[in-house]
A and B are shown apart, each in its own frame.
Chain A
């Protein structure tokens, strides 16, 4: 078994997620090689062959160019499995590679059992076991599913590659998230509103509870996308990462991207009408209740303590 691991580089830096790819190859018992469009001065700690193309000449985002480089690498290495992170880079590039090499793609792998891949479905309420019907297989890994206990070690044997930018699309730079406003990462108590609040007026229920507890309020993404709450209060992969003493998730289902931003909280309380909501997997206490009734009651009781 041979694996090709696709490391990522963004905004001048190699991303630490490459360690999870190594963790996965270890789990498979596979021999591996790594691929990176990056920089010689910023190499992964890795004990193996690294196919390296220079980001300055190849561009950080050029799907056609990166695809070409990867196909050359695949030709040299002939891997059985081509492994990406389930990230913006991975889900952009993985299907292009799968199509080019005629391989099946399995997205968001969380586990391997007897050579089959386990992937979540329906907001992690179900779990599918899937099998690749092609010789080669492209997969993307759910963040955190194959973490290594320690930092990887080793110095890679670098094989330099040259690219010819294809650029049917033009990448003209990054925009950082708006700064300022609330810095939830410093809050000790956070009460967050999810789509279950139903309408914008109900944000006050959540804000009032947060105030009664002496904390701040946050929100899940749909609440922010609907502009009920400003973006700098969003918790999750594309929002803030928080680790308060107490996190209360009100009307939040517990999608992986939300969990990624809050599961390091010391104590997690979820309030949800659905007893089976995936948030129950990380919650210390799941209160099965309608938040519109429960939250104001709780706020009153706390105020009168």
Chain B
């Protein structure tokens, strides 16, 4: 069984974001980078599936500049067998259609039985790439899964809907799954596995060799949202802050009165 999991490298969302010189996206200097949270669930699920079926080959794919290899190494240390790095320094300027076209073109004719992606990335939040990959490859796709069970060629999933409701959906044969928070508990790579990962194949292919398509969307500009918050901001010594907060609560709410 051949399995593909697609990951993205994203900045830590607690970062202070600076706008880049072209006013189109955030400046990528001085940020701490990590694996997109939703993709971590995808990697974990793919590794679990591989462990379950035993005879499987698991590829992790990531598009981006050289630094994405760091994130790919984590996926390899979690248990992926090989990495495919599609080298692209301009990835941040590409829209979901273009990103999906690259992945689909790479995956075409490679006979992946299952493809996992995150339901969205933490920085763009478009929630399109996984579904587009499936459409481009004419595969069925189950989105926002929070549960995945494989038995004899059939996969039963739970899709998360609003209000805590889940839909039970199953599929037989090749399919794409987009992974939602809480699907599983991603493992921490152990030291021996980190060492082993260093020896695993990590192939780099220039993205131009895969496919060239045009974006369907243009970013006109990027800005900080206008601060509408009219609340009070308290800063300083913790003890004094606690006293201040207590008097505010007494004055403004029925609490502590």
Binding site for B on A (CB under 8 A): 10-11, 60-61, 63-64, 86-88, 91-92, 94-96, 98-100, 103-108, 116, 119-134, 140, 168-177, 189, 213, 221-222, 224-227, 231, 234, 237-239, 245-246, 253, 266-269, 274-276, 280-290, 293-294, 297-298, 301-302, 305
A287–B241 contact, CB under 8 A? yes
A95–B132 contact, CB under 8 A? yes
Q: How far is the CA of A88 from the CA of B142 in the complex (A)?
A: 11
B220–A116 contact, CB under 8 A? yes
Any A CB within 8 A of the CB of B119? yes
The 9 closest A-B pairs by CB, nearest first: A177-B164, A104-B216, A225-B182, A95-B131, A168-B140, A91-B127, A99-B135, A281-B229, A129-B220
Binding site for A on B (CB under 8 A): 11, 13-14, 16-17, 19, 26, 95-97, 119-120, 122-128, 131-132, 135-136, 140-144, 158-171, 175, 181-182, 185, 214-225, 227-229, 231-235, 238-239, 241-243, 245-246, 248-249, 252-256
B246–A298 contact, CB under 8 A? yes
Q: How far is the CA of A133 from the CA of B158 in the complex (A)?
A: 35
Residues in A with CB closer than 8 Å to B119 are: 91
A100–B135 contact, CB under 8 A? yes
Quick one: given A88-B143, A253-B13, are A172 and B168 in contact (CB under 8 Å)?
Answer: yes
Q: How far is the CA of A107 from the CA of B124 in the complex (A)?
A: 9
A130–B97 contact, CB under 8 A? no
A131–B220 contact, CB under 8 A? yes
Residues in B with CB closer than 8 Å to A128 are: 219, 221-222
Q: How far is the CA of A130 from the CA of B242 in the complex (A)?
A: 43
From A275, A286, A301, contact of B243 by CB (8 A): A301
Additional A-B contact list (19), CB under 8 Å, known A91-B143, A169-B175: A96-B135, A99-B97, A122-B13, A125-B13, A129-B221, A171-B168, A174-B168, A175-B158, A177-B163, A177-B165, A237-B163, A275-B233, A281-B228, A282-B231, A284-B231, A284-B232, A286-B233, A288-B233, A298-B245
From B132, which residue of chain A is reached at the shortest CB distance?
A: A95
